[in-house]
Amino acid sequence: MYNASDLRKNLKLQLEGEPYVIVDFQFSKPGKGQSLYRCKLRNMITGAILDRTYRSGDTFEPANLEERRMQYLYNQDDEYVFMDLENYEQSMLKEDQVGDAKNYLTDNLEVDILFFETTPIGITLPNFVDLTVTRADPWVKGDSVSGDSKPVTLETGYTLRVPPFIEEGTRITLDTRTGEYVTRVKE
């Protein structure tokens, strides 16, 4: 149980049976009056934003959230299927719940899946993943528009800019937090 004075940015709560995260928080206490806790909350399932003002004395249930280590198996249509590495149970996320993470998902990649009670609602990738370049155009030296980089396409379909020496078939390391090239994988 949380009290109003526990409220802060990034705290996760359960409101009307759904998990919310506080994305913006302001404490106010006008003059000699009572404290107000103004929160902007994001629904962790639907992404909907709520504005709420709470007062001293209000109490809140923590959101019942759990992360489980899982392996990515495959996707079919807009469903992405993962397997729990301990009990081999399979769970499924929709494409919009996977979001940009789909750019980095390759078979057997281990990820953390976030559950609200028994429902999977989100994914956390490793900070760094290795992916294979499937398409790279030759670099045109002296191209002042592109500078010292060129575009390539990876096995997941993701495109990004990399240094000119990267060729088709090369494996590269990416930072999943920025989506940027880090280094070439040494074979």
Partner 1 sequence: MLAAVRGFFSERGYLEVETPHLLPVPIPEAHIQFVETARGAVLHPSPELYMKRLLAAGHPRIFQVARCFRGAERGDRHLREFTLLEWYCAGADYRGLMETCEAMIGSAARELGLGRRIRYQGREIDLEAPWERITVAEAFDRHAPEPLEEAISNGRFEEDLVVHLEPRLGAPRPVFLTDYPASMASLARRRRDAPEVCERVELYLGGLEIANGFTELTDPEEQRRRFERDLEERERLGRRTFPLPEVFLEALDRMPEAAGMALGIDRLAMVLTDSARIDDVVAFTPEDG
Our finding on whether 36 is near partner 1 (CB under 8 A) is yes
Our finding on whether 5 is near partner 1 (CB under 8 A) is yes
Question: In angstroms, what is the minimal distance from the CB of 121 to partner 1?
Answer: 29
Our finding on whether 38 is near partner 1 (CB under 8 A) is yes
Considering only the stretches 35-43, 91-99, 119-127, 175-183, report the one whose residues sit in contact with partner 1 under the rule CB under 8 A.
35-43
Q: Which two tokens stand for residue 30?
A: 């006008």
Our finding on whether 159 is near partner 1 (CB under 8 A) is no
User: Which own/partner pairs from 99-105 qualify as long-range (CB within 8 Å, at least 24 positions apart)?
Assistant: 99/123, 100/179, 101/125, 101/176, 102/75, 102/156, 103/154, 103/156, 103/157, 103/158, 103/179, 104/129, 104/131, 104/156, 104/158, 104/174, 104/176, 105/72, 105/75, 105/80, 105/156
Our finding on whether 124 is near partner 1 (CB under 8 A) is no
The smaller minimum CB distance to partner 1, of residues 3 and 119, is found at 3
Contact residues: partner 1, CB under 8 A? 5, 25-36, 38, 53, 56-57
